[in-house]
A = this chain, B = another copy of it.
C-alpha cells in the first residue's frame, strides 16, 4: 500500500471507531458540541481569512475565473453565516432514536424499527470551502462520522475550518479532512467499502460520474435539474405566466430552475405571446419547437440537444404539446426526474400529472423554486437527490439516517419446545 492508501484507510478505521462513539451521544450532547463548533468558527475568523487568502492568491495565479474565485472566497459575512448555520442545525430535531414503526407478533415478540445513524460518510466536493462545515455538521448532528475530501483550490481554507471544528470537543476523528487533493485519493475513498457506508459527491457531473464508476458503496447523487413547467389548456394565464417567470428567473443558476416550458396546443397561440413578453422583460432568451416558432416567429429553434440541456442561465426552451399525456411523455423521456410542474385549474388533470410524472418533486400550481429542503421545512439540506433509492428529492437530516430493528422477547424459539 502507498502512503496515501495507508493514510486514508487509517482514517477509515478511525471514522468507524468514532461513529460508534457518536451513535451513543444524546441529542443534548451533540447540540452542545455544535454550539461550540459555531463559536470556534467565529473565534477562528482571523485564521480562516488568512488561510483563504492563500487559496485566493493561488487561484488568481492559476487563472481561475471570477465566478470560481467568488465561490472560493470567505469574508467575515460568509464566516458568520457558516457559524449561524451550525447554530441553526443545533436547534433542529434529532431524527436518531425516533421510532419509525412498532408492532407485536402473535408469538409475543415486539418489533420496533428505530432510526440510527448511517455510520461513516465520505463527502467529496469541489471548490466551496463552506461545504467543509455545512456537510460535516449535518452528518455530525445525525451521529455520523465524516471523511471530507475537498478540492485542491480550497485546501488551506478547508484545513482551517476543520481545525476550528476540531476544537469543540467532538469524539476524536468524528470529522476528518483528507490531507491529499490528488485524484487517487478519490479512488481510494471510493474503494474503501469496509470503512465507508456512503459517499456523497457534491459538485459537477464529471465529479459525480467519476465517483459512481469507482464506488463500491452506495452513492447519493445530485445530478442536474432539467425542470419542466406544463401549461395545461385549463391554466389561469396570469398564474402560468407568473410561475414561468419565477421558475426561470428568480435564480437561474440552480438545479430547481426551469429549463423547458411545455404549452398545450389549445392555448398556445394566446398564451405564448403573453409569456414571451414577460420573459423578455427579464432578459430570457427563448428557443422553440416548430409550432412555437410559428407563433413566436422571431426566436431560434430548439433542437434535441435543448430538451436535455440544463442551461443554468437565462435561456428557456419551449415546446407545444397536444395533450397532458404528451407533456408527461416528454418530461419522462427528456427530463432529469428532479422537479416538474403543471399549471391548471383542472384538478383531475393535475392529479393525473402528479401520478404519471416520474420525478422526485411533482408540483401543481407552484414554482419549481420550492423544490428545496429549506422551503420544504427541513431546516437544513445536504442536497437534492436525483436517486430513487434511500433518499429522493430534498435531503434533510432524516435522510442521513438508517434504521435498525430492535426486537424484544422472552425466550421465543423457532422450533417448538
Chain A residues within 8 Å of B, Cβ to Cβ: 20, 23-24, 103, 105, 109, 111, 116, 118-119, 193, 197-198, 212-213, 216, 218, 220, 236, 239, 242-243, 245-246, 249-251, 332, 350, 354-356, 358-367, 369-371, 375-377, 387-390, 392-394, 402-415, 417
Contact = CB atoms under 8 A, between A and B. Distances in A.
Closest 8 CB pairs of A and B: A366-B409, A246-B413, A369-B414, A390-B390, A239-B411, A388-B402, A389-B390, A218-B389
Interface SS majority for chain A = mixed
Nearest to A350: B408
A366 B20 CA distance: 24
Nearest to A193: B212
Contacts of A251: 414
Nearest to A219: B218
Given A218-B387, A414-B370, A361 B404 contact: yes
Contact of A356 (B24, B387, B390): B24
B392 A360 contact: no
A355 B20 contact: no
A9 to B, nearest CB: 16
Contacts of A355: 23-24
Contacts of A242: 411, 413, 417
A404 B364 CA distance: 14
Total identical chains: 2
A109 B366 contact: yes
A212 B12 CA distance: 20
Contacts of A366: 109, 407-409, 411-412
Contacts of A212: 193, 216
A415 B370 CA distance: 11
Given A213-B216, A365-B408, A365-B411, A392 B402 contact: yes
Given A388-B118, A392-B403, A409 B246 contact: no
B409 A363 contact: yes
Nearest to A116: B358
A14 to B, nearest CB: 14
A409 B344 CA distance: 11
A250 B415 contact: yes
Counting chain B CB atoms within 10 Å of each CB, which of A20, A245, A251, A389 scores highest? A389
